[in-house]
Structure 1
């Protein structure tokens, strides 16, 4: 019998045995419902060994995954294979699994790297499978998407073990650092991916990380990535333990910090970290007093949305600088960080203003801490925040260059001005478009959609334009102004 044909037959027999065994163990009450699902999840990942041993034709190798995409979808809709489905199943995780198999089969054959798919599929099978089971059984401390510290730790350790075996056999030069990076990536991806999509993101993401490491490992950009990731992760973890970042915020901050370091260098990364550290410090400054003035100041930990609102634009601009090597783009990147710093300082310090706080549109007095309000202290704070970023940049970047003092001073002034302008734009958007609600209990104006587990009544603004969106839009508008000024 031809090897590929035998491989197809063995594939169906193998999967059938896995499902039948799981059903038998569940009926004998040796496995509960979740244990049965994880048994299948882990067992099916070993199909990759059949692929390696029996298939040399990519299209014939695609037949088993395609069949199981259709079969699993039918089971999802009709609950055909009870050992594989959850009660009240809401995700297509069992369908995404063979889709990942199909994609990695094609990629592995095309790249002539069968171990590429093996790494991704085995990490998904064993890592994600064991992480889910242990997380549900023993996990108590929640991180994100109802996932736990115990589950995420399991994902990291299992991924580390599998990655090391693959690297040691096929890319031994990167065995240690490569396996650590893949394991961290696997844990991050699994943590942030919701509703069964990790059956796609984990195998494809870890395989991609492996491919990148083996393709560019040893090159300068790879070294920059290692350094950027390490220092960004250390800062983010420290912030997490100081409750300045949530679990999702750690992930987003690490990604943003790494990207900015790799694409725009240490000076830009330092400016970003200075903004973050200074903002975290002033957020804690007289926190109790701020909380009495406005409920918006009760929260301290920044989540991924808040991190992206202030960090995504600088990261994109850093990539643009990496591609173009344009100094104007670099200055614009710094200006975008100055905008975020100016706005944060204005909000966190301005709320402590002893004088009146007025609407930036009507100049009528409003409650301290309400979006769209401005004060003398807040305005001064915004200028100082932007100036700090500008000073650090010009003091770090221009010494030793041929730039004149006049150019340096002009750059310092323009970065500061754009940062302060961004804070003004933020206030205008906050007063005009940001959504505001009436608290269902206190009847006070609030930015919170829910209070005391009840939805508040919308008073004004656009429903999607929350504070994070206002920060993001004001950053974009400020960058447009900066590009118009700096880019010739």
Structure 2
């Protein structure tokens, strides 16, 4: 029994295009980053935004949802390897999997293991790929019903919040952030009010924009705006609470799960 259907020619073409395009973008960003001394957090966010935007495109260029899951799932492993081998500065460094065990048995400060003190690198790219894989697997009925008749728009809301909201929060926070804060119990998750405000506003705008592009018949005009408000509120709260790059898990999964629970 095979878990994957036989791929169509269109599926094979989409797979090849996805891998080639991703490699080209990463290499180009890496070359420009090294050549022109582009700040590392900027080059990472460029790749981050490309990845999140392209994940939205997967809904339309793939004929078989199973191979979308194969593609995004493979990036979990590939990002893991890239970080381990330190192939691309723009994708981050350090690789720690079993956080609690390492801390308990070695006495090592987990903050020192998970973050490059000079560059703030985390396993965020691995987490983000995992989140996207899970969301597209859970909300995949659109491939069977025919877009936009499906609930992929719920997955898209979480992906958009993490892609655009997080990227803008990082850029604004690092560039213009003057007023920092850290919520109680959120050790390792220091944010700025300016960055969090940017996250909220950008998510509030981008979620209904992408929903408008998809035009899901299930949503009313009112739900476009209430859904965007929920996405922005939940996403901003989770982003401010999540340390060591784990916002790449909590934000997309939390936003999408909240919308699903509330009946969107």
Please state which band the TM-score falls in when normalised by the shorter chain. Answer: 0.7 to 0.9
Map 1:93-172; keep pairs closer than 5 Å: 93-110=124-141, 112-144=150-182, 145-168=189-212, 169-170=215-216, 171=219, 172=221
How far has the Cα of 1:136 moved from its partner?
A: 1.3
Hey, what's the Cα distance between the residues in 1 that align with 2:38 and 2:9? 38
Hey, what's the Cα distance between the residues in 1 that align with 2:191 and 2:24? 30
Query: What do residues 359-414 of structure 1 show as CA deviations (whole Å, max 9, x unaligned)?
Result: xxxxxxxxxxxxxxxxxxxxxxxxxxxxxxxxxxxxxxxxxxxxxxxxxxxxxxxx
Query: What do residues 27-67 of structure 1 show as CA deviations (whole Å, max 9, x unaligned)?
Result: 33262111111111111111223311122322211122122
Map 1:167-316; keep pairs closer than 5 Å: 167-168=211-212, 169-170=215-216, 171=219, 172-215=221-264
How far has the Cα of 1:173 moved from its partner?
A: 3.1
Hey, what's the Cα distance between the residues in 1 that align with 2:71 and 2:211? 27
Q: Indicate conservation of the 8 Å contact 1:156/1:187, yes or no.
A: yes
Hey, what's the Cα distance between the residues in 2 that align with 1:81 and 1:71? 12
**TM-score with structure 2 setting the length:** 0.75
**TM-score with structure 1 setting the length:** 0.42
Indicate which of 9, 16, 21 corresponds to 1:9. 16
Hey, what's the Cα distance between the residues in 2 that align with 1:108 and 1:55? 15
Hey, what's the Cα distance between the residues in 1 that align with 2:231 and 2:56? 21
Tell me the number of residue pairs that the alignment of Structure 1 and Structure 2 aligns.
215
Tell me if 1:29 matches 2:36: yes
How far has the Cα of 1:14 moved from its partner?
A: 2.2
SS in 2 for 1:75: helix
How far has the Cα of 1:158 moved from its partner?
A: 0.8
Query: What do residues 89-115 of structure 1 show as CA deviations (whole Å, max 9, x unaligned)?
Result: 663212101101110110121473222
- The structure-2 alpha-carbon separation of the partners of 1:84 and 1:90, relative to structure 1 and needing over 3 Å to count, comes to closer
SS in 1 for 2:191: coil
Equivalent residue for 2:81? Answer: 74
Query: What do residues 331-379 of structure 1 show as CA deviations (whole Å, max 9, x unaligned)?
Result: xxxxxxxxxxxxxxxxxxxxxxxxxxxxxxxxxxxxxxxxxxxxxxxxx
How far has the Cα of 1:18 moved from its partner?
A: 2.0
SS in 2 for 1:46: helix
Q: Indicate conservation of the 8 Å contact 2:165/2:199, yes or no.
A: yes
How far has the Cα of 1:72 moved from its partner?
A: 0.9
Query: What do residues 269-299 of structure 1 show as CA deviations (whole Å, max 9, x unaligned)?
Result: xxxxxxxxxxxxxxxxxxxxxxxxxxxxxxx
Query: What do residues 244-288 of structure 1 show as CA deviations (whole Å, max 9, x unaligned)?
Result: xxxxxxxxxxxxxxxxxxxxxxxxxxxxxxxxxxxxxxxxxxxxx
- The structure-2 alpha-carbon separation of the partners of 1:73 and 1:103, relative to structure 1 and needing over 3 Å to count, comes to same
- Divergent runs of 4+, >6 A: none
How far has the Cα of 1:146 moved from its partner?
A: 1.5
Q: Indicate conservation of the 8 Å contact 1:96/1:199, yes or no.
A: yes
Q: Indicate conservation of the 8 Å contact 1:141/1:149, yes or no.
A: yes
Equivalent residue for 2:63? Answer: 56
Give the root-mean-square deviation of aligned CA atoms: 2.0
Structure showing greater Rg = 1
- The structure-2 alpha-carbon separation of the partners of 1:178 and 1:117, relative to structure 1 and needing over 3 Å to count, comes to closer
Hey, what's the Cα distance between the residues in 1 that align with 2:18 and 2:211? 26
Hey, what's the Cα distance between the residues in 2 that align with 1:146 and 1:174? 32
